[in-house]
Chains A and B, each alone.
Chain A
Amino acid sequence: MASQDVVVVGAGPAGLAAALGAAEAGARVAVLAGGVGTTHLAAGTVDVLGYWPPGAADPVKRPREIVARLVEEAPGHPYALVGVAGVEEALNAFGRAVAAQGLAYEGSLDANQMLPTPAGALKPTCLVPRAMAAGAAVAEGRTLIAGFAGTQDFYPGFVAANLRAQGLDAGHVWLDVAAVRARRPQTAVVLASLLDDPAVLNEVIRAVRPHASGVDRIGLPAVLGFRRHPEVVVRLEEAVGVPVFEVPTLPPSVPGFRLFEALRRHLAARRVRITIGAEVVQAFADGDRLVAVGTATASRVQRHPAAAFVLATGGILGGGIVTRPDGSVAEVALGLPVSAPAAREGWLRPQLMHPDGHPIYRAGVRVDGRLRPVTGEGQVVYGNVYAAGAVLAGTDLWREKSHEGVSLATGYRAGRAAAGKSVEPGSGEGSRADLPTGRGGHG
């Protein structure tokens, strides 16, 4: 509708980072998305690089070093296009943005943290929400995992048993909280909103407190408040007297919602217009420039002109790349060329958990050094279109555990480039880490 400099297509981590990068560079930005993105399905952590090479047995300990190695070893990988400094620059911008909205993240490229998953496995991740941070210490002392009786989707005994199987000291308890038991439907978001209510929180505190003696920390499902989350965690911790941490639940994930909401608020304050439910279905081009994108409305296609565009629609999981029954693989929003296995037979390897992964998950849009999509022959398709995040070819984000890192780094870079900030391929301009690494306040 109203004129804008940059249109970002997609509202997952890459799209939001692109909007942030472009807005910080002074551009007027609009974000268009067919639905909400993968933020809501992921754990709410920022995974930068968990395993390298993909499928490696041991997790990455120092992502700064290993990302630098990856840049040398895998020139086609998105990290090679932005460099270590580019990754760091984006993480810093992200950290500032969410902290400004009261959602603190901790950690840096210097060290991965091992956080318990809903299955009790330990997952390497780089930046973690402050409310999950105490979970990184499960290797030391005794941990109690607590769940709410009468709810689905989180089984404390299962988490604790798997922690014990890894040689850690962990126990579990079911908390009986009448207000939680009574509530239907019990999605994680509903439970989190319930805990915003001080009366319910008091009930929870009364149920947890008797179990706090003799343990070093208590893990609870990630439903510790929604709108009043920081306050809820502080009150709970003060009342029980030991550190409390959230364990991610099955999707949809409350920490993912909080992350999305924090970025949305931050961008709205910078006059970025975010429209959810506006699916891009058409590209209006003039030679080698994209003039506008068209979204489906109730009855017509609506044109959104801009000087530059960022494509951040996600990969196969996010819906930006689709596989068709005839064996073709397509990019849905702009119809860009896709690099993918030539035929359907090449999509998957014979075993589900094959150590080399499945080629289809590496399918995506290939880009030049400035993140502009190119054809099979390496020709830039549109001079004013940039691509970022899981829609990019050349990486298997879920096996590498690099989803948010790649999304934020390429998104932020693409947003700046779209806003006219020229950046050297493979370089970053940012400073070193300035994120808090201790257990700081809530900003």
Chain B
Amino acid sequence: MADVEATLDACIKCNICTSYCPPAQVTGAFPGPKYAGPQAQRFRSPREPSPDASVDYCNGCRVCNLVCPAGVKIAELNARARASLFRDRGGVPLRERLLGRAELLGRLARPVAPVANLLLHNAASRWAAEVLLGIDRRAPLPRFANRTFREWFSRRGGRAREAAGARFTTGRRKVAYFHGCAANYYEPHVGRAALAVLERNGVEVIVPEQVCCGLPMLSNGDFDPARACFQTNLRHLAPVVEAGYDIVGTSTSCTLTLKAEARELLGDDSEAARLVGEHTYDVCEYLMAMHEAGELDTGFEPLELRVAYHPPCQLNAHRIGHPATELMAIIPGLEVEESGAACCGIAGTYGLKKEKYAVGMAVGRPLFDFVKDSGATVAACDSETCRWQITHATGVRCLHPIELLARAYGLADGQA
């Protein structure tokens, strides 16, 4: 793994990154990746205060990393700079700490989900959250599910199960499902769809012990608790990988964090981190690999549907292409149109913040226009916060591609 700091010397100052950076196109508050990243980095020293606070307007989309012809890890430089900015100011602000703790909120709210939803989604409390915490009252917040994915799984027996009619039973693949916070607390149906599709293809799926991947903390500049989460996950997941399982997730941000983001930002070069990173897959990436090996059951029923698909930034940062597009293309009848847009603007929790909500909505404009103009009745995206943002801005329902695959297998989910 290339050292993040070392890459800044490769910068040729071409400003291609600035020309693609989504926030820099819409706001004057952010001077862009070249200035906030490799350029400002020259003036950052561990013993001195950070020279520039504008780096907090970087949304972490990593578009800059992808287009940079010189391989500079700008987004990671920025994430580290944000963390040290907060350190200089005497600590991570309350709002940032709160937004980083999706899991804690989920755990507190779960036993009282209906009440929590009521509290979270009424005008008065949204007003209070805006005034007291700086969380924009218009921003898309998810709803807690009445039953978590883990609860559902343990009621199902808590063990791997063979699906009726699954074709591959010998030398079967083994998967440990990483549901993350979103599929556990907010969208358990996404987790159930992933399980159903994998089991339909003869994969043995277990659900290992796990905690939040830590990305919400990393992107809110709260590195210490993120490190604790990552260590806990390594303790749970490394032995599972050693036992022959691959880690598969439905959230492109969790899987990116396990693959590379935590290792790079936290500078963790341990053997366990490498092992887990190398064996982690996005669910569509995994299914596509099965397809290439001739192991995917392609007996899909036709889905007469037009889908506007947005490959999210976190998926692009995996640098694996767009496996969901290729999988959906196999489903007869399904018409998939891919957005060429860079970013939806939410970037995890960025677009929830009062001063950044409008930036996020402006960044997402080209995508929202694409979804609305596509004539599609349903949108699809691999990342949860992006799905919520797309629906918030367009009113169009947004699914995880795995839900469409499950439907095409006739694996309807009656347990929403």
Question: B293-321: which have CB < 8 Å to A?
Answer: 316-321
Cβ B321 vs Cβ A276 within 8 A: no
Interface flag for B78 (CB, 8 Å): no
Cβ B321 vs Cβ A252 within 8 A: no
Identify the stretch in B11-19, B89-97, B171-179, B371-379 within 8 Å (CB) of chain A at 4 or more residues.
Answer: B11-19
Interface flag for A251 (CB, 8 Å): yes
Residues of chain B within 8 A of A190, CB atoms compared? 19, 24-25
Cβ B321 vs Cβ A300 within 8 A: no
Residues of chain B within 8 A of A47, CB atoms compared? none
Question: How far is A13 from B131 in the complex, measured between Cα atoms in Å?
Answer: 52
Interface flag for A427 (CB, 8 Å): no
Identify the stretch in B61-69, B208-216, B344-352, B390-398 within 8 Å (CB) of chain A at 4 or more residues.
Answer: B61-69
Residues of chain A within 8 A of B242, CB atoms compared? none
Residues of chain A within 8 A of B259, CB atoms compared? 297-299
Residues of chain A within 8 A of B317, CB atoms compared? 277, 298
Question: A6-51: which have CB < 8 Å to B?
Answer: 34-38, 40-41
Question: How far is A318 from B18 in the complex, measured between Cα atoms in Å?
Answer: 18
Residue of A3, A183, A302 most packed against chain B (CB within 10 A):
A302
Residues of chain B within 8 A of A38, CB atoms compared? 69
CB distance from B67 to the nearest CB of A (A): 5
From B256, B261, B321, B326, contact of A278 by CB (8 A): B321
Cβ B326 vs Cβ A1 within 8 A: yes
Instruction: Indicate whether A40 sits within 8 Å of B16 (C-beta atoms), given known contacts A34-B71, A297-B318.
Output: yes
Question: How far is A226 from B334 in the complex, measured between Cα atoms in Å?
Answer: 33
Instruction: Indicate whether A277 sits within 8 Å of B320 (C-beta atoms), given known contacts A252-B14, A257-B19.
Output: no
Instruction: Indicate whether A275 sits within 8 Å of B321 (C-beta atoms), given known contacts A185-B18, A300-B278.
Output: yes
Cβ B292 vs Cβ A298 within 8 A: no
Chain B 52-84 per-residue mask, 1 if CB under 8 angstroms from chain A, else 0: 000000000000011111110000000000000
Residues of chain A within 8 A of B319, CB atoms compared? 275, 277-278, 295-298, 302
CB distance from A8 to the nearest CB of B (A): 14
Question: How far is A184 from B16 in the complex, measured between Cα atoms in Å?
Answer: 16
- Closest A residue to B325 by CB, please name it: A273
Chain A 273-298 per-residue mask, 1 if CB under 8 angstroms from chain B, else 0: 10111110000000000000001111
Interface flag for B31 (CB, 8 Å): yes
Question: How far is A302 from B321 in the complex, measured between Cα atoms in Å?
Answer: 10
Interface flag for A337 (CB, 8 Å): no
- Closest B residue to A302 by CB, please name it: B320
Cβ B31 vs Cβ A185 within 8 A: yes
From A3, A36, A278, A296, contact of B69 by CB (8 A): A36
Question: A291-334: which have CB < 8 Å to B?
Answer: 295-300, 302, 318-319
Question: How far is A202 from B259 in the complex, measured between Cα atoms in Å?
Answer: 49
Residues of chain B within 8 A of A295, CB atoms compared? 319
Interface flag for B277 (CB, 8 Å): yes
Residues of chain A within 8 A of B265, CB atoms compared? none
Cβ A1 vs Cβ B69 within 8 A: no
Looking at chain A's contact residues, the main secondary structure is loop
From B32, B66, B69, B71, contact of A185 by CB (8 A): B32
Interface flag for A397 (CB, 8 Å): no
From A251, A265, A318, A319, contact of B15 by CB (8 A): A251
CB distance from A386 to the nearest CB of B (A): 22
Chain B 21-36 per-residue mask, 1 if CB under 8 angstroms from chain A, else 0: 0001100101110010
User: Which range holds the interface residue count of chain B?
Assistant: 35 or more
Interface flag for B250 (CB, 8 Å): no
Question: How far is A201 from B260 in the complex, measured between Cα atoms in Å?
Answer: 44
Residues of chain A within 8 A of B191, CB atoms compared? none
From A1, A182, A188, A268, contact of B19 by CB (8 A): A188
Residue of A37, A297, A299, A319 most packed against chain B (CB within 10 A):
A299
Question: How far is A2 from B292 in the complex, measured between Cα atoms in Å?
Answer: 7
Residue of B16, B278, B340 most packed against chain A (CB within 10 A):
B16
Cβ A189 vs Cβ B25 within 8 A: yes
CB distance from B65 to the nearest CB of A (A): 7
Instruction: Indicate whether A187 sits within 8 Å of B288 (C-beta atoms), given known contacts A1-B321, A2-B326.
Output: no
Question: A418-442: which have CB < 8 Å to B?
Answer: none
Residues of chain B within 8 A of A278, CB atoms compared? 319, 321
Residue of A185, A190, A268, A318 most packed against chain B (CB within 10 A):
A185
CB distance from A419 to the nearest CB of B (A): 21
Cβ B67 vs Cβ A298 within 8 A: no
Question: How far is A13 from B370 in the complex, measured between Cα atoms in Å?
Answer: 28
Cβ B25 vs Cβ A36 within 8 A: no
Question: How far is A35 from B70 in the complex, measured between Cα atoms in Å?
Answer: 7
Cβ B32 vs Cβ A34 within 8 A: no
Interface flag for A193 (CB, 8 Å): yes
CB distance from A220 to the nearest CB of B (A): 19
Cβ A276 vs Cβ B67 within 8 A: yes
Cβ A318 vs Cβ B320 within 8 A: no
Cβ A251 vs Cβ B14 within 8 A: yes
Residues of chain A within 8 A of B25, CB atoms compared? 189-190, 193
Cβ A299 vs Cβ B326 within 8 A: no
Question: How far is A194 from B162 in the complex, measured between Cα atoms in Å?
Answer: 57
Residues of chain B within 8 A of A277, CB atoms compared? 65-67, 316-317, 319
Residues of chain B within 8 A of A252, CB atoms compared? 14-16, 19
Question: How far is A183 from B32 in the complex, measured between Cα atoms in Å?
Answer: 13
Question: How far is A396 from B319 in the complex, measured between Cα atoms in Å?
Answer: 33
Interface flag for B41 (CB, 8 Å): no
- Closest A residue to B323 by CB, please name it: A1
Cβ B68 vs Cβ A35 within 8 A: yes
Question: A179-228: which have CB < 8 Å to B?
Answer: 182-185, 187-190, 193
Instruction: Indicate whether A279 sits within 8 Å of B71 (C-beta atoms), given known contacts A185-B18, A296-B319, A298-B318.
Output: yes
Cβ A298 vs Cβ B256 within 8 A: yes
Cβ B256 vs Cβ A185 within 8 A: no
Residues of chain B within 8 A of A251, CB atoms compared? 14-15
Cβ A1 vs Cβ B320 within 8 A: yes
Residues of chain B within 8 A of A275, CB atoms compared? 319, 321
Residues of chain B within 8 A of A35, CB atoms compared? 16, 66-71
Residues of chain B within 8 A of A276, CB atoms compared? 66-67
Residues of chain A within 8 A of B260, CB atoms compared? 298-299
Residues of chain A within 8 A of B18, CB atoms compared? 185, 187, 189
Residues of chain A within 8 A of B261, CB atoms compared? 298
- Closest A residue to B66 by CB, please name it: A277
Residues of chain A within 8 A of B71, CB atoms compared? 34-35, 279
Question: A221-254: which have CB < 8 Å to B?
Answer: 251-252
Interface flag for B385 (CB, 8 Å): no
Residues of chain B within 8 A of A183, CB atoms compared? 28
Residue of B14, B19, B28, B68 most packed against chain A (CB within 10 A):
B19
Interface flag for B148 (CB, 8 Å): no
Seen from chain A, the residues whose Cβ lies within 8 Å of a Cβ on chain B are 1-3, 34-38, 40-41, 182-185, 187-190, 193, 251-252, 257, 265, 268, 273, 275-279, 295-300, 302, 318-319
Apart from A252-B16, A273-B321, A297-B259, list 10 A-B contacts with CB within 8 A. Answer: A1-B292, A1-B320, A1-B321, A1-B323, A35-B71, A38-B69, A40-B14, A183-B28, A184-B28, A188-B19
Seen from chain B, the residues whose Cβ lies within 8 Å of a Cβ on chain A are 14-16, 18-20, 24-25, 28, 30-32, 35, 65-71, 256, 259-261, 277-278, 280, 288, 292, 316-321, 323, 326, 340
A-B contact pairs, 13 of them (CB 8 A): A1-B323, A38-B69, A40-B16, A183-B28, A185-B30, A185-B31, A190-B25, A276-B66, A277-B65, A297-B320, A298-B317, A299-B259, A299-B260
